[in-house]
Structure 1
């Protein structure tokens, strides 16, 4: 493990790293009179992560495990209803505590379940995937998908604390690690050119440096959401790559003949497409665009689109929750490390971006 990482103070809760998080969690359990403790897991984290967490909990509280089947396809209101019913049957009350142990699906859904049960009970996020560590568990967004439309139903509500423990990454498959890397690349592209440049030669990256990189990514996201917690302004910069990326992810999720993409795989495509748009709008130089495209393509496999795919993807943009007054708003990078929000983009340019991505 690398050096001791400092705790990051978010708007009204701390984000702890590694061992420090477990100490803080046990202290929190000692200092608060909770009635019982519920740990929400999916079928993956129940098997691979729960056995790491249970032995460190120092509490006399009754601990109940609530498991649901893993996968974005289960991040819906039906799963919430099942969990609300289980909480009710097991005697959860307003003094219960929920711990969400899992990737973004678990922290998004578990946070939403806790935020709405009896008008809101305390919850703690323990992200177990790289994606959840650097993105989903930070910033207070909780919610579920509506059909294939991502994150349409949800609330802004903050956890009591977030515990980032990189030992959970040891259980993570390579494609899931890459998926999280997409959000880290995004943080560099929108906010910190030096940070972006650390990823240009991944072979040079030491695994020991990885904790420090995760810490920096969380710090960048936290800085942005602290300034703008409910996405009225600068927080929209975090949507870079996501306007097209979410539409692609939704389309591949609902399309029977397509293999479902991981979030980061879709966002990687979205970042290339939206960088091309930024280049065509003279926000990026050609050299910067090529650098971004080559760096991302060196990490992520190409995704094939045929002519019949593009129209339904554009159709899905209409439902994007970032839209205002019926127009599609993009966050586009304005030179590496800077961003311009609320950018309108015409369909022709989007189609051109897809053509260039495939070239």
Structure 2
């Protein structure tokens, strides 16, 4: 499978990824190599990496706790201190082996430790493979608020190997599948229909490269998210607010990222019918396809105002205005759309029907 070349690095797949890592390590004089895992990938994925690269057994392993709840500055402190205590210098390398929490947090740690050391991402979840593999976004959450602290910085390379997906449960696969469906909705109607016809999210694994290529095509045109790259946020304005609310509320079960984004995409598809002339039958198609894979989540009516208040923290906002990415049709997105408050309430009703 051919590598995908971004402006700054390559995304390698399968056997070529392993060879690229071996070649890079042999040709680069790193003073020390560190590998960042969480407690799950340390158990299930690190042994596979060592099997490919036996010398990885001698790399210093730093471990954080798994899950979005641990994607915060406190975990960064632990990793920074671990790097410092183990003698990391500006010629060290950090290999981030894990899902989006590990690659986002690890990339941020590497970008800021001693004003920046180099890093490599090896995503181990479907979500990280199709979403965090391109674009250079790094960072952590601020309390329950998603990705409020971070920088855009690129890895040396990204390595995608599907063997790691065998460690995921079906819910995690569904979470990643949501981002793939989004790629089709914003950029490629034929891809959306291809994914919509799949029986299970597990069948989407064969399409990982196409999702990475679609995202890379957008990012290359707008690396710092001034304009076009904003279309990648479809479903994320309301989705992130919902994810943050469920993460921070003691009486609600935490949602995985993709689960929250699915809700956001259904809500924002409804908004698009009112503001961007998205045909209603297409909004209903989006809703029906998504709900065929993702159980409807009960969002108590009394929780809606708090979710809406969280929208003010969305990173696309400017001059106090909450701006949405919406669809003009399946396969074509537009951005910087203001949404009246009364339509937000109606979108929740549409999802709850």
* TM-score calculated relative to the size of structure 2: 0.98
Q: For the Cα contact (< 8 Å) 2:173–2:201, is it kept in 1?
A: no
Structure 1 residue 320, shift from structure 2 partner: 1.1
Tell me how far apart the structure 1 counterparts of residues 138 and 56 of structure 2 sit (CA, whole Å).
29
Post-superposition CA distance 1:147-166 (Å, at most 9, x none): 11100000000000000101
Aligned to 1:297: 291
Return the alpha-carbon distance in structure 1 between the equivalents of residues 95 and 4 of structure 2: 19
Matched, 1:130 2:136: no
- Matched with 1:311 is 305
Q: Is the 8 A contact 1:17 1:165 kept in 2?
A: yes
| Structure-2 residue corresponding to 1:23 | 19
Partner of 1:210: 205
Counterpart pick for 1:96 among 86, 92, 96: 92
Per the alignment, in what secondary structure is the counterpart of residue 152 of structure 1?
Answer: strand
Matched, 1:253 2:247: yes
Distance 1:210 1:86 in 2: 35
Query: Do the aligned partners of 2:276 and 2:326 also contact (CA within 8 Å) in 1?
Result: no
Determine if contact 1:37/1:61 at 8 Å carries over to the other structure.
no
3-state SS of paired residue (1:20): helix
Q: Which residue pairs with 1:322 in the alignment? A: 316
Q: Which residue of 1 aligns with 2:181?
A: 185
Shift of 1:283: 2.5
**Partner Cα distance (2:133, 2:208) in 1:** 13
Checking the alignment, whether the CA contact within 8 Å between 1:84 and 1:117 is kept in structure 2 is yes
Residues 276 and 60 (structure 1), Cα distance of their counterparts in 2 relative to 1, 3 Å cut? closer
- Distance of 1:316 and 1:23 partners within structure 2: 45
Q: Report deviation, 1:59.
A: 4.2
- State the TM-score, normalizing by the size of structure 1: 0.96
1:40 aligns with 2:36: yes
Kindly tell me: are residues 68 and 206 of structure 1, through their superposed partners in 2, closer, same or farther at Cα, counting changes over 3 Å?
closer
**1:23-76: CA deviation from partner (whole Å, max 9, x where unpaired):** 000000011000111000001101111111012115489410000110111100
- Indicate if the aligned counterparts of 2:49 and 2:56 stay in contact, CA closer than 8 A: no
Measure how far apart 1:210 and its partner are: 2.8
Residues in 2 aligned to 1:108 and 1:205: alpha-carbon distance in whole angstroms: 24
Q: 1:201 to 1:30 in 2, by over 3 A?
A: same
Contact 2:98 2:125 in 1 (8 A): yes
CA contact (8 A) 2:316 2:323 kept: yes
1:15 alignment partner, SS class: strand
Q: Which residue of 1 aligns with 2:229?
A: 235
SS in 1 for 2:36: strand
Give how far 1:203 is off.
2.1
Secondary structure of the structure 1 residue equivalent to 2:119: strand
Taking structure 1 as reference, are residues 347 and 306 closer, same or farther at Cα in structure 2, changes over 3 Å only? same
Q: What residue in structure 2 maps to residue 194 of structure 1?
A: 190
Shift of 1:204: 8.4
Contact 1:29 1:59 in 2 (8 A): no
Pairs within 5 Å for 1:13-162: 13-57=9-53, 59=55, 62-162=58-158
Name the stretch that deviates more: 268-277 or 58-67: 58-67
Q: CA deviation digits over 1:197-219, x for unaligned, max 9?
A: 01222228884x733x1000000
Q: Quick check: 1:332 aligned with 2:326?
A: yes
Question: Deviating runs (4+, > 3 A) in structure 1?
Answer: 58-62, 204-207
The answer to whether the Cα contact below 8 Å between 2:130 and 2:179 also exists between their aligned partners in 1 is yes
- How far did residue 234 of structure 1 move? 0.3
Mapped to 1, the partners of 2:312 and 2:30 lie a distance apart of 44
The counterpart of 2:213, out of the listed 203, 212, 219, is: 219
What residue ranges of structure 2 are gaps of 5+ in the alignment?
A: none
Q: What is the aligned residue count?
A: 353
C-alpha deviation, 1:347, in angstroms: 1.0
Gaps of 5+ in 1: none
Distance 1:204 1:349, change over 3 A: closer
The verdict on how the C-alpha distance between 1:205 and 1:38 changes in structure 2, with shifts beyond 3 A counting, is: closer
